[in-house]
Structure 1
């Protein structure tokens, strides 16, 4: 468990909104600092009264708190990683990173510059909210491989304008059966088309067993999205893109991140070449 590895001179940055995470403070030899999407979170308020440092999302700003002292670092909508403040799970990541930097002595101005110049692209954050325009659709790659991460991703894409949505889904084999079913349920509730692939990280399971559990989750929803099982990653991604409607959002829950990026870019380039050939 990571908090156990914090040295006596170090800091553990914990999510105050999750009781199980916050309880990890008992395992920390060093110091504990917390973040929250709510400045009125009871844990944050209690720690502020004791003069402890926290980072919160406050009136649209990433804000450092210490006792009664408050300083706004930057407006979330100005931070590229948050996609205009729409990606709440990215705001949480920004809060944690801001806090880690602040307690290690980095100035507010330097933190602000870092936040406003760091972009979520395949070069800087591979596999984390990577958008690529491919033909007439948009591909979004993200490494969301548990129900909490997938729910956060779905919350984000629900704010996007795309009318149609497809997901290429796989789940690592070391997840619990209920977790795998829940991944399928989230997919069934939020996507028109679902492509189930085997994925690389089977971790002792049979790919068909994982696919069956995902299908069970989809069936729980009572909805009838189009479902295809295509084991090979490139074939699964290519199928999703090939049959995408104009303006569709194709989400891939990244498997081997460099490979997925390469597959999508290769398919994009092939489509571009065909378009250019027809224009000559």
Structure 2
């Protein structure tokens, strides 16, 4: 038995609806998850009895080769609870320190961590139905423009708080494997068109009403708190990645609506999430946060999400880019809601009535309808905004305003002309995303039989061998004329330099890609320069797993200057 991780879960999580301390354990040959969980629970009882703690609730979740163990704890004793977990597992292994010594050390931890003022505010907020947002440094009551924040070390007593005006604002969660960031950006553009001041988190940063306030991959709890504490924000759009969900849980255990774009193979193997079904369960946590009066917005083209939508919870609004199935027709006829692509139009179906909203090919982000994945993202964003009461005029305006400028969606599905060569820059980094963007590329080339396709991509080293090889298969399906493989600089993550590109090269050759139509480059800049040297007017260069945006932009500008 090996303790792989011990950490705090600070909110609604995969095992329970509240905060606690979690331990992830890798089992050895012949070890039984249920037996380990039972022995751990007995050891926890032994230690908390010595500490004088009340009995705590516990949960366990088994997975292939391991088990996850969770005990609940007060917010101001979570670090101490991780120490309890660690001692209990050492007790199971047979190498724990003396109970008396451990109890004395943990009492000191509890005293150091204790924050009675925070716990009093949490209780008072719950009594008044006022949102409570906390971390180690700050505590907030209310949300956004209707919130107030204090340093965690200098909190007022509940009687000293002016509770008037401390309220919730509309909050939506967005998650999924692909399309999260684009859907988030579309949603915020619609909300701006509705006259609101949205704050959003995404894998590109924190943005308030279109203005970037923090750059970087901000899709975890820290980003959500940043938005929920911003004094101008009156609606929160929280892109929530699986890492934040699994590492810490959700910041808020309630929201007004939640969108899941799709579930595909990516980032499997961490935190006991080993299969797509596991990932659907993890990402489905946002649906558990939706109020009974809210809406779950789910992709009707994804079998795992169809199954999730059948689970108990808030009403579901479905979206689809394929002809409506019999069950979806029945859902609508029974009074349910769906946003669908029908006869080339984005349409809202409600209670049997159908209303055409926008022609798909007119959307700037769809590039004449070739970017079907962006049509799906537009349907999802429209359904999400509709779910929180945004009117159709704002939905139309926002979607028609999005995508006409490259700055609207940096790093995602950016199509540009470079001296007659089409460049398609995209973050697509897993087979599902790569297939979507290359289908778009094939659509763009459909009426140009003489044009050629160059595909450039790499992959991070933390993906499994099967995932890396599947990426090569997705590229081969598009039958590119030339493939450029490259290192993803800074993302080797334990693999030797060149290992990933060699795996992909060998797989592509085995599928039929000629060796002379395969090149390897050291980074994105070297690849884009080689592509521009190879391409002739009319060709298309699909540059995927696009991370080095500034460097690639500089290379393109340099190429234009020297042309």
| TM-score, normalized by the shorter chain, greater than 0.5 | yes
The secondary structure found in structure 1 opposite 2:407 is: coil
Residue 332 of structure 2 is matched in structure 1 by 48
Residue 424 of structure 2 is matched in structure 1 by 140
Contact 1:194 1:227 in 2 (8 A): yes
Contact 2:297 2:384 in 1 (8 A): yes
How many Å separate the matches in 1 of 2:404 and 2:463? 27
How many Å separate the matches in 1 of 2:562 and 2:303? 54
TM-score, length-scaled by structure 2: 0.46
Q: How does 1:31-110 map to 2 (within 5 A)?
A: 31-110=315-394
Does residue 5 in structure 1 map to residue 286 in structure 2? yes
How many Å separate the matches in 1 of 2:527 and 2:560? 20
Contact 1:141 1:253 in 2 (8 A): yes
Once the two structures are TM-superposed, the CA of residue 71 in structure 1 deviates from its matched residue by 1.0
Residue 211 of structure 1 is matched in structure 2 by 501
The change in CA–CA distance for 1:184 and 1:38 in structure 2 (over 3 A counts) is: closer
Residue 278 of structure 1 is matched in structure 2 by none
The change in CA–CA distance for 1:199 and 1:121 in structure 2 (over 3 A counts) is: farther
The secondary structure found in structure 2 opposite 1:63 is: strand
1:266 aligns with one of 532, 543, 554: 554
Cα-to-partner distance string for 1:151-204 (whole Å, 9 max, x where unaligned): 111111112235111111112334332232122133234211111111143343
Aligned residues: 272
Contact 1:121 1:129 in 2 (8 A): no
How many Å separate the matches in 1 of 2:383 and 2:339? 6
How many Å separate the matches in 2 of 1:206 and 1:56? 46
- Of residues 103-112 and 114-123 in structure 1, the stretch that sits farther from structure 2 once superposed is 114-123
Any gaps of 5 or more consecutive residues in structure 1?
276-280
The change in CA–CA distance for 1:230 and 1:11 in structure 2 (over 3 A counts) is: same
Contact 1:184 1:216 in 2 (8 A): no
How many Å separate the matches in 2 of 1:206 and 1:46? 53
Any gaps of 5 or more consecutive residues in structure 2?
1-281
How many Å separate the matches in 2 of 1:155 and 1:236? 21
How many Å separate the matches in 1 of 2:465 and 2:312? 31
The change in CA–CA distance for 1:265 and 1:105 in structure 2 (over 3 A counts) is: same
How many Å separate the matches in 2 of 1:243 and 1:233? 15
1:23 aligns with one of 303, 307, 310: 307
The change in CA–CA distance for 1:38 and 1:61 in structure 2 (over 3 A counts) is: same
How many Å separate the matches in 2 of 1:43 and 1:141? 37
The change in CA–CA distance for 1:255 and 1:38 in structure 2 (over 3 A counts) is: closer
How many Å separate the matches in 2 of 1:150 and 1:192? 16
- Of residues 170-179 and 81-90 in structure 1, the stretch that sits farther from structure 2 once superposed is 170-179
Once the two structures are TM-superposed, the CA of residue 98 in structure 1 deviates from its matched residue by 1.0
Does residue 243 in structure 1 map to residue 534 in structure 2? yes
How many Å separate the matches in 1 of 2:418 and 2:324? 43
How many Å separate the matches in 2 of 1:193 and 1:213? 17
Contact 2:290 2:296 in 1 (8 A): no
- Of residues 219-228 and 163-172 in structure 1, the stretch that sits farther from structure 2 once superposed is 219-228
How many Å separate the matches in 1 of 2:525 and 2:454? 15
Does residue 226 in structure 1 map to residue 517 in structure 2? yes
Specify the structure having the higher radius of gyration (Cα). Answer: 2
Contact 1:53 1:67 in 2 (8 A): yes
The change in CA–CA distance for 1:194 and 1:112 in structure 2 (over 3 A counts) is: same
How many Å separate the matches in 2 of 1:191 and 1:157? 10
CA RMSD of aligned residues (A): 2.1
Residue 163 of structure 2 is matched in structure 1 by none
Q: How does 1:148-163 map to 2 (within 5 A)?
A: 148-161=432-445, 163=451
- Of residues 209-218 and 191-200 in structure 1, the stretch that sits farther from structure 2 once superposed is 209-218
The secondary structure found in structure 2 opposite 1:111 is: helix
The change in CA–CA distance for 1:121 and 1:75 in structure 2 (over 3 A counts) is: same
How many Å separate the matches in 2 of 1:209 and 1:272? 34
Residue 172 of structure 1 is matched in structure 2 by 460
Contact 2:413 2:424 in 1 (8 A): yes
Contact 1:167 1:193 in 2 (8 A): yes
Residue 481 of structure 2 is matched in structure 1 by 192
The secondary structure found in structure 2 opposite 1:110 is: helix
How many Å separate the matches in 2 of 1:227 and 1:122? 29
RCO greater where, 1 or 2, for CA within 8 Å and sep 6 or more? 1
- Of residues 71-80 and 266-275 in structure 1, the stretch that sits farther from structure 2 once superposed is 266-275
Once the two structures are TM-superposed, the CA of residue 58 in structure 1 deviates from its matched residue by 0.6
